[in-house]
Amino acid sequence: MIAILGATGAEDLRLIRSEAEKVLLENCGDAVYFRGLIEASNACACDCLYCGIRKSNRTVRRFTLDEEDIVACARLTHESRYGSLVIQSGERNDAKFIDLVARCVKRIIAETRCPELPEGLGITLSLGQLPYVSYKKLFDAGAHRFLLRIETTNPELFAALHPVEQTFQSRLDSLAALRDIGYQVGTGVMIGLPGQTLADLADDILFFERHDIDMIGMGPFIPHPDTPLGTAEVLPVADRVRLSLLMIAAVRLKLKDVNIASTTALQALDPVGREKGLKFGANVMMPQITPTEVRKDYQLYPGKPCLDENALECRSCLEARIALAGRKIGYNQWGDSRHALARGRGR
Ligand code: SAM
């Protein structure tokens, strides 16, 4: 895996890419699954040293969408025939917010049931570390997948990226809680972090395997100027894009049947980064559904694409991009990973 991650020659890259694509098509088919991405709130109790919406960043205008806004975003996702959505936010465990998300999950499922989707939209949450009871409440409301990145599995590097009270062990405990409750569990890492080695990234892949992870979301690290890591020394953009694509390929080659997202951060560094991600083995994309008025307030890193487009413009742009990558869109399907389904984790 270290050799794959360190490849630079054109012929090596071509071989790795085509082998990863072959393994993807054999194990997952040619569908790309869309999850409409709703950024529900940028209020955050955490102070991750890399993140643009960390609580200490006073330049951010904080927002929380209300129930009607969130349900309207879900309706748009449904009308676009995406089959599934992700509700993401900063980390906050206040009862008001957890109750809001739980109410939205129930309403979204009830209001999007139709002949093509008898159980309504599939719902993934990405809300950070919460107590067991909150995870359970949201699962009982009907959410069935949860994404919580481990960020890096090197404990020293993790400690260098987070305040002391945010521990590596507590992230592990949260992943275990999600698994125990019955969620399909997603995790992932940032790629090209200062001090991160190829061996660290290879270890990350072994971690995903050991923890029987169902879905992976990874992307390049992009320094945000208003954070302590804003001036950190990082690999040049082209190298970080190449490493991110190779990481997608290495995960696909090793884990075979998991879902892998081609993330927005890739597109932030390369206008066709997400299409390249699909060609290197990814099979999930998360089109922006967040209302245009607040998209600019949810900037984890600079250069976030599609800030001025609305959801309908994003939709037609993405359809053209998938066709260019030679794949088809898995309309009106939840698109659970084959890995999760094989282990009886479908809902
Ligand atoms: N609060 C939730 C959580 O912590 O899982 C979801 C939102 S959180 C901001 C989503 C992800 O953004 C993080 O897991 C992290 O990997 C990524 N992220 C944050 N800052 C980033 C940066 N500067 N460059 C690349 N990715 C970043």
- For residue 346, is it within any domain? no
Calculate how far, in angstroms, residue 126's C-alpha sits from the geometric centre of ligand 1: 10
Domain count for the chain: 1
Tell me the longest C-alpha to C-alpha distance in the chain: 54
**Which pTM does this prediction carry?**
0.97
Which residues of the chain fall short of a pLDDT of 70?
A: 311
- For residue 139, is it within any domain? yes
- Contact status, residue 218 vs residue 151, Cβ threshold 8 Å: no
Q: What is the CATH number of the domain that holds 321?
A: 3.20.20.70
Which pairs from 7-13 meet CB under 8 Å and 24+ separation? 7/246, 8/242, 13/242, 13/246
301 lines ligand 1 (CB under 6 A): yes
- For residue 342, is it within any domain? no
- For residue 93, is it within any domain? yes
The whole-angstrom separation of Cα 332 and Cα 329 is 9
pLDDT at 324: 79
pLDDT at 215: 98
Residue 219: phi, psi to the nearest 5? Answer: -160, 165
Ligand 1, atom nearest to 53 Cα = 9
- For residue 20, is it within any domain? yes
pLDDT at 317: 79
Calculate how far, in angstroms, residue 83's C-alpha sits from the geometric centre of ligand 1: 24
- For residue 340, is it within any domain? no
- For residue 309, is it within any domain? yes
pLDDT at 314: 72
- In terms of DSSP H, where are the helices of 191-236? 198-210
| Domain of residue 150, residue span | 2-335
pLDDT at 186: 98
pLDDT at 12: 98
pLDDT at 101: 98
pLDDT at 325: 81
